[in-house]
Copies of this chain bind each other. A is one copy, B any other.
Amino acid sequence: MNPLSSPLLTDLYQLTMLEGYFDAGMTETAVFELFVRKLPPKRNFLVAAGLEQVLRFIEGLRFEEAELDWLERSGIFRPGFTARLADLRFTGDIHAMAEGTVFFPNEPVLRVTAPMPEAQLLETRVLNLVHFETLVASKAARAVIAAPGKRLVDFGLRRAHGAEAGLLAARAAYLAGFDGTATVLAGPEFGIPVFGTMAHSFVEAHDDESDAFADFARTFPDNAVLLIDTYDTVAGARNAIAVAQRLARHGIKIRGVRLDSGDLAALAREVRTELDVGGMADATIFASGNLDEYRLRDLVASGAPIDGFGVGTSLVTSSDAPYLDAVYKLQEYAGRPRRKRSTGKATWPGRKQVYRFGDAEGTFARDVVTLEDDLRDGEPLLVPVMEDGRRIVTSPDLGAIRARTAAEIARLPVGLRELDEVDPPYPVEIAPPLAALADAVDRANVAVGGWEAE
């Protein structure tokens, strides 16, 4: 069972509900939508990501022999259920916002229209993928905004939450404007540029810091970035300069240095001066060490001569907001709109579309969420991507998605590009036909449910 593609990577209740749906003959068309209920603290927008992984998962969705065997042996289900699962494939439609689209609360980013059991079964893994990539893309976009023109590299794998998180974080960060990642596997997997040179252990393993620098530069004669803070950053810079001068006659050129601790702004200034005076004016300074978008903003504002940043843990865990209030909710079944009314968790029923309206300069001005058949002039954000279980559009390559994200962020009102919450937030209007439908569903449910609302 491959954890990345197994249909058992789901909540048990999806399977128990499937058996219930089969038993009750409830296999008519269901419409589920994935959306975020509210923004986490300090966020003004989100960046949609993860659709490509979702489509691959859906295309490959099937129960293998070993999975069916386990389900049978589990004793949870009646005989006969697993036989139906064996034949289950996704045969429905998917509408989605393109990856890289900026979006806001209550806007569906993905809609599934399919026979109820198929649509239900998707919930857990589809949320798992879209939630995480969107979380990291949205976090990464903030670093890109905070440090315009600086090289940004994802350094987070070691503290990402498992293997897939590390890999998908590299993708989400690149998509949102990072220049690359330290995660090697993101190279073959996604074609993302990979970066990296040396760690403290390389320096410490040598008896002398200068020997470490020289050894490394000889192995990478035109691409070495030396880590200079193992013992003392400024002394490290001087050692790097001495090594560079010594090796220059062999055609070896040090490309830059990295700082990973201490007062980065002050050290970068000192190191810059040392490098300039020492004949290394075109060597770059790269900084890392517990960085996030707030520290990037402050370092950039201070005018510190830092050319690029490695951002790790804060990026891949979205540490100040490690989850989104993302949900996947039933909006229609068998042609009738549906609505949950649980306290604080009520949903908007029906098949919906999101229209975006810009101002004369092309800046995003407002969105309208309405029913699919309430056609509007604005740009419809949900587009069909899968029909009858088959993709109907070619996936854009990651570079194109990255360009789209940049264009979207450029069209945000300036205030929304702040790292702190703006008030008022971006306007998202619930259109009158949608509000009216919600009321109608409430009245119908009260009547049918046979009880009175309190």
- Cβ-based interface call for A431 (8 A): no
A220 cross-chain contacts in B, Cβ below 8 A: 16, 19-20
A336 cross-chain contacts in B, Cβ below 8 A: 207
What CA separation (Å) do A453 and B15 show in the bound complex?
64
What CA separation (Å) do A150 and B325 show in the bound complex?
26
Q: Which of A195-242 contact B (CB under 8 A)?
A: 195-202, 204-210, 215-216, 218-220, 223, 229-232, 235, 238-239
What CA separation (Å) do A197 and B184 show in the bound complex?
41
Cβ contacts A1-29/B at 8 Å (1 or 0 each): 10110101111111111011101101000
- Cβ-based interface call for A256 (8 A): no
Q: Nearest chain B CB to A321's CB is how many angstroms away?
A: 9
Across the interface, name the chain B residue whose C-beta is closest to A132. Answer: B161
Across the interface, name the chain B residue whose C-beta is closest to A17. Answer: B202
Q: Nearest chain B CB to A4's CB is how many angstroms away?
A: 5
Q: Nearest chain B CB to A52's CB is how many angstroms away?
A: 14
- Cβ-based interface call for A302 (8 A): no
A313 cross-chain contacts in B, Cβ below 8 A: 323
Asked if B160 and A195 sit within 8 Å, CB to CB, the answer is: no
What CA separation (Å) do A45 and B10 show in the bound complex?
31
- Cβ-based interface call for A261 (8 A): yes
- Cβ-based interface call for A448 (8 A): yes
What CA separation (Å) do A20 and B15 show in the bound complex?
52
A138 cross-chain contacts in B, Cβ below 8 A: none
- Cβ-based interface call for A118 (8 A): no
Which of A157, A205, A235, A342 is the most central at the interface, judged by chain B CB atoms within 10 Å of its CB? A205
* Known pairs A23-B219, A230-B340; A11 contacts B196 (CB<8 A): yes
Asked if A13 and B198 sit within 8 Å, CB to CB, the answer is: yes
What CA separation (Å) do A333 and B208 show in the bound complex?
13
What CA separation (Å) do A20 and B158 show in the bound complex?
21
Q: Nearest chain B CB to A166's CB is how many angstroms away?
A: 6
Cβ contacts A307-321/B at 8 Å (1 or 0 each): 000000100111100
Asked if B1 and A4 sit within 8 Å, CB to CB, the answer is: no
What CA separation (Å) do A194 and B124 show in the bound complex?
15
Q: Which of A408-454 contact B (CB under 8 A)?
A: 445, 448-454
A210 cross-chain contacts in B, Cβ below 8 A: 450
Q: Which of B135, B163, B326, B448 contacts A164 (CB 8 A)?
A: B163
* Known pairs A168-B162, A205-B330; A197 contacts B123 (CB<8 A): no
What CA separation (Å) do A68 and B137 show in the bound complex?
30
Q: Nearest chain B CB to A183's CB is how many angstroms away?
A: 7
- Cβ-based interface call for A155 (8 A): yes
Q: Which of B120, B182, B230 contacts A13 (CB 8 A)?
A: B182
Asked if A128 and B323 sit within 8 Å, CB to CB, the answer is: no
Q: Which of B16, B70, B78, B262 contacts A343 (CB 8 A)?
A: B262
A202 cross-chain contacts in B, Cβ below 8 A: 17, 20-21
- Cβ-based interface call for A95 (8 A): no
- Cβ-based interface call for A102 (8 A): no
Across the interface, name the chain B residue whose C-beta is closest to A164. Answer: B162
11 residue pairs A–B, Cβ–Cβ below 8 Å: A8-B188, A12-B182, A15-B184, A20-B215, A24-B215, A161-B317, A162-B164, A204-B333, A204-B339, A232-B453, A318-B322
Q: Which residues of A contact B (CB under 8 A)?
A: 1, 3-4, 6, 8-17, 19-21, 23-24, 26, 30, 32, 66-67, 70, 74, 76, 78, 116, 120, 123-125, 127-129, 131-132, 135, 155, 157-169, 182-185, 187-189, 194-202, 204-210, 215-216, 218-220, 223, 229-232, 235, 238-239, 260-262, 313, 316-319, 322-324, 326, 328-330, 333-334, 336, 338-345, 445, 448-454
